[in-house]
């Protein structure tokens, strides 16, 4: 296994392409109440279990074992309608408190596609709540966002959600709205009320950074706060014989957006990954950490790339990565019956 090697950055150009995404938000504000993330957490309606049951063999063979973990409730752990993918935390955003955010995509067995949701979990209270991501339409209506949402990264007040073939969608934690209807079968404005498939809170998309190079894919996303200028990271999941993906980093401005010249952000660097099937990647203090999948029945691998390349046993179905408090590396597993947010020593 070779180390990561530098590759051209040109395929990883990002063009700011928010278009009219924000035009619908003022219309929504006339109808709905905007709330803070603190309110969402205070009104959290689900309870996680700290160091609870993780499913058969979830941590089997891991060395070192997790130092801590959080399990979703039974309904979220076992559902085959929703699958967790992305993970970030308040440390990425430079915020105290330890809150985690998880992205999920909907995989309907029948019926309507319900898009993407984010879960905010407060480790101090063990309570969490799902928030539905939506498009705010110019007339003030809302619609679901149907993407894979393979990663999420939180920086300042902004949340970046990976959109595989397009780039990165942006959401703002200061733009959360409380829904006034409770019909779990529909979304949008109907009969004088808003509904969102039964979700109490929605977060409309506020911006977008689309791929300018044409060939890059955006399978996951992360933040590195250990670099002199904080960086946003994204890369490619590749599952093809003899092929591996790439990863790139963009410097971040203080406001949370990639630094751009004329509306286009150029990657500071890009690398070819040393392994395939990478579900999450980040750099921290000069070392790269890669979560490598091995299907629904075999343990994955944490690949650590520094002066050497090391492999550490990981759970089945490892996904996106985040660093909490500069001390522990966290990930989330996706498969039903063994979903858990867990942290290991760096």
Looking at 10-24, 51-65, 70-84, 250-264, which range is the least confident one? 51-65
Domain ranges (residues) in the chain: 5-345
Q: Phi/psi at 38 (nearest 5 deg)?
A: -60, -40
Q: How far apart are CA 148 and CA 166, in angstroms?
A: 11
pTM: 0.97
Position 190 scores a pLDDT of 87
Position 53 scores a pLDDT of 86
CATH number for region 5-345: 2.115.10
pLDDT over threshold 80, residue 1:
no
Question: CB neighbours of 8 closer than 8 A, spacing ≥ 6?
Answer: 270
Q: How far apart are CA 278 and CA 1, in angstroms?
A: 14
pLDDT over threshold 80, residue 19:
no
Tokens 């990930």, residue located: 331
Dihedral over Cα of 90, 249, 231, 214: its sign: negative
Query: DSSP letter at 22?
Result: G
Looking at 12-26, 245-259, 284-298, which range is the least confident one? 12-26
- pLDDT digits over 240-269, tens only? 999 999 999 999 998 999 999 888 999 999
């Amino acid at each position: 296994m070779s180390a990561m090697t530098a590759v051209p950055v040109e395929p990883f150009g990002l063009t700011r392409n928010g278009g009219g995404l924000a035009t619908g938000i003022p219309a929504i504000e006339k109808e709905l109440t905007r709330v803070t993330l603190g309110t969402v957490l205070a009104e959290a309606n689900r309870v996680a279990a700290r160091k609870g049951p993780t499913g058969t063999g979830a941590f089997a063979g891991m060395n070192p074992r997790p130092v801590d973990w959080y399990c979703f409730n039974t309904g979220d752990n076992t559902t085959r309608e929703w699958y967790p993918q992305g993970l970030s935390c308040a440390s990425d955003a430079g915020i105290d408190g330890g809150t985690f955010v998880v992205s999920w995509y909907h995989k309907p067995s029948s019926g309507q596609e319900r898009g993407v949701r984010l879960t905010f979990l407060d480790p101090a209270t063990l309570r969490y709540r799902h928030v539905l991501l939506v498009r705010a339409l110019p007339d003030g209506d809302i619609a679901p966002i149907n993407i894979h949402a393979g990663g999420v990264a939180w920086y300042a007040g902004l949340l970046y959600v990976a959109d595989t073939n397009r780039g990165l969608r942006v959401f703002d934690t200061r733009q959360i709205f409380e829904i006034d209807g409770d019909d779990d079968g529909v979304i949008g404005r109907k009969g004088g009320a808003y509904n969102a498939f039964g979700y109490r809170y929605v977060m409309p998309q506020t911006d977008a950074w689309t791929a300018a190079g044409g060939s890059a894919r955006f399978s996951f996303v992360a933040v590195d706060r250990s670099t002199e200028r904080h960086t946003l990271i994204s890369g490619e999941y590749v599952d093809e014989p003899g092929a591996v993906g790439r990863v790139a980093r963009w410097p971040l401005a203080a406001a949370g957006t990639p630094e751009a010249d004329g509306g286009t952000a150029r990657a500071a660097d890009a690398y070819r990954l040393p392994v395939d099937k990478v579900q999450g990647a980040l750099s921290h203090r000069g070392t790269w950490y890669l979560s490598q999948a091995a299907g629904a029945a075999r343990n994955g691998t944490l690949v650590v790339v520094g002066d050497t390349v090391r492999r550490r046993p990981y759970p089945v179905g490892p996904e996106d990565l985040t660093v909490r408090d500069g001390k522990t590396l966290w990930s989330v597993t996706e498969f039903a019956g063994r979903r858990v947010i867990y942290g290991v020593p760096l």
